[in-house]
């Protein structure tokens, strides 16, 4: 049995920036201050964040039988994540994302996603919580994911979803929300998923479909809607180095807090701290906090 099974993406991220001018084509060379090769993929970053917080974590997904895939396997294993359900595909390469940063924004170019993979039933039905990351990057899985989550629920698990961005711009989640206990979008994703014209209205709309909606709202913090009321957290001040993966660390914090039996309000506090502290280093995993780190910070802010 594992505390958390993550179904989602895992790939290397090549992070370069910050870009100070528009991206130039025409074989023009542009220089930036830094570049890093780090573990990426919303699923992988969430899995690492939850493992860092003390949960037993497994990930189900797909990588290629190549150097990039071995980098992903080694990175996950070194952070305590069970990779036995991460399918090594000999026919297709490992996905890869290039992240170009500029000021407090970023552009992402991703290749190699979309292949189907199997999720071991024994792992699915024994997990205490099942989380799906990057739903829109797994179109071949769209038809089976609701059934997988319902099966996990039937065996006592809770479930969550972080859709991330939809490259197609369609934002059609089908039956997914019917199988989800916690939805974890950022503000832009909440607007697109709901069709609402404000973030607060978006959360209210989505809360009619999902028991808990926890919205990541950048520098403005985060908030939850449980179908009855809205809970706000204004966030914490940190000296941010890189915001890549902060939303995934937020998701890991929320899941871990609920796993510990904390209230939705306290889970929002934990998640917000996890997201903020993860920005202190380059990439999504290098600065992820431990449970003790988070509790110490929360106790300090309340002193």
pLDDT in tens, 247-283: 999 999 999 999 999 999 999 999 999 999 999 999 9
pLDDT band at 122 (very low <50, low <70, confident <90, very high): very high
Cα separation, 88 vs 117, in Å, equals 10
What pLDDT shows up at residue 105? 87
Q: Has residue 301 got a pLDDT over 70? A: no
Query: How far, CA to CA in Å, does 76 sit from each of 1, 11, 15, 17, 191?
Result: 19, 10, 18, 25, 32
pTM: 0.96
Closest by Cα among 44, 12, 49 to 253: 49
What pLDDT shows up at residue 302? 58
What pLDDT shows up at residue 218? 85
Architecture of domain 4-19+35-291: 3-Layer(aba) Sandwich (3.40)
Lowest-confidence segment of 4-8, 55-59, 242-246 by average pLDDT: 242-246
Q: Has residue 161 got a pLDDT over 70? A: yes
Closest by Cα among 216, 210, 220 to 191: 216
The domain segmentation of the chain, as residue ranges, is: 4-19+35-291
**What mean pLDDT, rounded, does the chain reach?**
95
Q: Once rounded to an integer, what is the mean pLDDT over residues 222-250?
A: 91
pLDDT band at 300 (very low <50, low <70, confident <90, very high): confident
| 67-78 helix and 42-52 helix, angle to the nearest 10 degrees | 20
Strands laid side by side in the 34-40 sheet: 34-40, 11-17, 96-102, 105-111
pLDDT band at 303 (very low <50, low <70, confident <90, very high): very low
What pLDDT shows up at residue 114? 86
Is the model more confident about 45 or about 236? 45
Closest by Cα among 195, 213, 193 to 203: 213
């Amino acid at each position: 049995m594992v505390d958390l099974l993550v179904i989602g993406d895992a790939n290397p991220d090549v992070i370069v920036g910050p870009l100070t001018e528009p991206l130039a084509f025409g074989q023009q060379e542009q220089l930036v201050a830094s570049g890093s090769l780090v573990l990426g993929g919303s699923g992988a970053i969430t899995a690492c964040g939850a493992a860092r917080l003390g949960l037993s974590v497994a990930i189900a997904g797909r990588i290629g039988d190549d150097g990039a895939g071995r980098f992903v396997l080694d990175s996950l294993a070194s952070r305590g994540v069970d990779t036995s359900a991460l399918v090594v595909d000999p026919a297709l390469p490992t996905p890869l994302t290039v992240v170009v940063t500029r000021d407090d924004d970023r552009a992402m170019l991703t290749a190699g996603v979309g292949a189907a993979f199997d999720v071991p039933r024994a792992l699915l039905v024994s997990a205490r919580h099942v989380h799906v990351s990057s739903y829109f990057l797994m179109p071949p899985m769209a038809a089976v994911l609701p059934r997988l989550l319902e099966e996990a629920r039937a065996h006592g698990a809770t479930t969550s979803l972080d859709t991330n961005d939809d490259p197609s711009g369609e934002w059609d989640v089908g039956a997914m929300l019917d199988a989800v206990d916690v939805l974890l979008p950022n503000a832009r994703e909440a607007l697109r998923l709901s069709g609402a014209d404000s973030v607060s209205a978006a959360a209210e709309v989505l809360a009619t479909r999902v028991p808990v909606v926890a919205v990541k709202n950048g520098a403005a913090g985060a908030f939850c809607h449980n179908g009855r009321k809205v809970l706000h957290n204004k966030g914490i001040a940190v000296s941010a180095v890189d915001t890549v993966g902060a939303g995934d660390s937020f998701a890991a914090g929320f899941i871990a807090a609920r796993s510990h039996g904390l209230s939705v309000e306290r889970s929002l506090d934990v998640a917000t701290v996890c997201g903020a502290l993860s920005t202190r280093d380059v990439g999504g995993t290098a600065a992820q906090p431990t449970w003790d780190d988070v509790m110490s910070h929360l106790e300090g802010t309340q002193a």
